[in-house]
Amino acid sequence: MQRDALPFYRVMAYATGVFLLVLCVAMFVRYGPPDNPSMSQIVSPIHGWLYVVYLVAAGLLVYQRGWKGTRAVLIAAAGTIPLASFFAERYVVRKAREEARVR
């Protein structure tokens, strides 16, 4: 029996979104008036690896649901734009649940 990829995607979408917002703050601290690179040196790699896992989660979900490549690209891009992963997560969950009801 195959596990549903939706819960894994949801967790990764939220984690990636939160760390992207923290990364934005870290970039302000690094390049803004405080001029302190220590926070971004810690947060940048964490967000980078979380984004890689987010891409895997999105890929599994797209493969499992049989969605088109354009939807996969949009979902993947949502992890790079602040706040977009939260909106994309809601959209993806809604679409996945609608399609599950139709089948």
Written as one string, the DSSP assignment of 14-41 is: HHHHHHHHHHHHHHHHHHSTT---HHHH
pTM of the model: 0.88
Calculate the alpha carbon distances from 14 to 30, 69, 102 in Å: 24, 22, 27
Average pLDDT value for residue range 48-59: 95
Per-residue pLDDT at 36? 83
List, in order, residues 6 or more apart from 63 with CB less than 8 Å away: 5
Q: What is the pLDDT of residue 102?
A: 65
